[in-house]
Structure 1
């Protein structure tokens, strides 16, 4: 798998400090670098955490009472945003490690499973360094369920989504490293209860919080978010990555413009696919 992220690539790890404020900033960062990577800049991997946010999928934004549900989240101190990749609602906090692989796609290929497999391989190899064996496949009852859910002992720890541009793409993952997995599940279940007006037979995940877990819970003593990030960075270095900020990192003005564009494009009742 080491040759599948074009070397040299950059490993940008900001997870030592949790992000505050606009949850769309890290997504805007990846979007801008995806454009530059499509024009020939080197690939990169982005590792980050956010203090308190809920990120919705495009279908979530179309639910009949979603605006009331989003306001309820904001009143409880959550940043709320709609991401431009696939998947459904996820809860972010300091115990969740977020991960993006941003790579060129010069041929404009549409085969997405190879890219999901790449992220799964990275997560699996990093889990192995912590003594955990990962499986893939949808975990029924989890939030943001999908074919590439990553689980240990049948309980979901990670979800994967993707965003494609013309000449580059982004694969995103959230990894529940520590904290309260069941509480996150309860939060997302409450969001869907509000957003559907109590009609959970709509096309939303049926969330059973006990299907979720964390690395710290399943890995035992000594497994934390920090040790996972260390294992992740070690794996990426073995694959040929270089630690450091991307040389084409966007400016604050670019980030603000892109975050505004993402909000206007996707945070509407009928967002474009």
Structure 2
């Protein structure tokens, strides 16, 4: 199953693509959608926080700054990882699979995604290294880098019977500006920059001059998965409700009884 939201406008709720994947995982776990499922998407202007980011002392104020002064849609995701800025130069690739009972091998799942990306980038002459890039934003053991500069990070979201592996790929654009935005968010949130350093991130057009950019790679990537299907109407409707539930549970600015919020399940 292949679903593409190749261009979500700046007005679109950033929780929506994550809610779509939450629904896909649920349905995959109940054998109601075919797997593996792939979701490709981009958002014009969004900023995605990790759970730890949302717990910084001034996170709510920093989120307000991003929305009101910088014009970003802001969210807190329930998967792993940390803060990531998104724009149309960043391609998000998510793989949804059904989990084997009693089996948990996150490294194998990350290797699978790295292999998938390697296969789609190889025709453009792009080869990359795997391993944590210190000083990058959203650092992890399976950072993907070229010449020591990171262009992609991976995260996971696991449910009882299915899971998703998520990749953000800086295909084009100013990676230094994205890193500076993350660094400023952490400064305002009370994280003192969290060691996001200049010169550590890169986009593929910056790191590999022959790379054709986000649009061309996105078309090539989509073609490798076949014909994209629309989000099923039931899934699109459910995703709106899931998005609202995710915001209510994870956004530190959400109102309501704290004990009730902690007890909700999404």
TM-score for the superposition, normalised by structure 2: 0.89
Partner of 1:19: 9
Partner of 1:79: 73
CA contact (8 A) 1:127 1:134 kept: no
CA distance in 1, matches of 2:120, 2:245: 34
Q: Secondary structure at the match of 2:17?
A: helix
CA distance in 2, matches of 1:252, 1:12: 12
CA contact (8 A) 1:127 1:231 kept: no
| Shift of residue 119, structure 1, vs aligned partner | 0.6
| Shift of residue 147, structure 1, vs aligned partner | 0.2
* Aligned: 1:105 with 2:99: yes
- Single out whichever of 139-148 and 107-116 deviates more from structure 2: 107-116
Partner of 1:166: 160
More helix by share: 2
Partner of 2:217: 228
CA distance in 1, matches of 2:159, 2:210: 41
* Aligned: 1:268 with 2:252: yes
* 1:107-151, Cα deviation, whole Å (9 max, x unpaired): 242221111111111112222111011111011111000000000
CA distance in 2, matches of 1:250, 1:56: 28
CA contact (8 A) 1:130 1:231 kept: no
1:29 corresponds, among 20, 38, 48, to: 20
CA contact (8 A) 2:124 2:210 kept: no
Within 5 Å, give how 1:239-258 maps onto structure 2: 241-245=225-229, 248=232, 250-258=234-242
* Aligned: 1:178 with 2:169: no
* Aligned: 1:211 with 2:203: no
* Aligned: 1:53 with 2:46: yes
CA contact (8 A) 1:142 1:205 kept: no
CA contact (8 A) 2:48 2:74 kept: yes
Q: Which runs of 5+ in 2 are unaligned?
A: none
* Aligned: 1:150 with 2:144: yes
RMSD: 2.1
* 1:161-206, Cα deviation, whole Å (9 max, x unpaired): 000001100110100001110000000000000001xx52xxx731
CA distance in 2, matches of 1:168, 1:133: 30
Are residues 59 and 158 of structure 1, via their aligned partners in 2, closer, same or farther at CA, if it must alter by over 3 Å?
same
Q: Which runs of 5+ in 1 are unaligned?
A: 1-9
| Shift of residue 13, structure 1, vs aligned partner | 2.5
CA contact (8 A) 2:79 2:157 kept: yes
TM-score for the superposition, normalised by structure 1: 0.86
Q: Secondary structure at the match of 1:59?
A: helix
Count of aligned positions: 253
CA contact (8 A) 1:32 1:250 kept: no
